[in-house]
Amino acid sequence: MSGFGATILDATGLRLTADEKALFREADPFGFILFARNIDTPDQIRALCDDMREAVGRDCLITIDQEGGRVQRLRAPLAREWMAPLDHAEQAGEDAARAMYLRYRLIAHELRALGIDSNCAPLSDIAGADTHPFLRNRCYGETAEEVISLSRAVADAHLDGGVVPVLKHIPGHGRAVADSHYDLPHVTTPFEELEGTDLAPFRALNDLPMAMTAHIVFEAIDARPATLSSAAMGMIRQQIGFDGLIMTDDISMKALAGSPQEIAQHSRSAGCDIVLLCNADLPTRAAVAEAAGPLDEIGQKRAEKAIAARKTPAPLDIEAAEAELAALMGGKVYV
Active site residues: 181, 249
Give the per-residue SS3 of the chain. CCCCEEEEECCCCCCCCHHHHHHHHHHCEEEEEECHHHCCCHHHHHHHHHHHHHHHCCCCEEEECEEECCEECCCCCCCCCECCHHHHHHHHHHHHHHHHHHHHHHHHHHHHHCCCCEECCCECCCCCCCCCHHHHCCCCCCCHHHHHHHHHHHHHHHHHCCCEEEEEEECCCCCCCCCCCCCCCEECCCHHHHHHCCCHHHHHCCCCCEEEECCCEECCCCCCCHHHCHHHHHHHHHCCCCCCEEECCCCCCCCCCCCHHHHHHHHHHHCCCEEECCCCCHHHHHHHHHHHCECCHHHHHHHHHHHHCCCCCCCCCHHHHHHHHHHHCCCCCEC
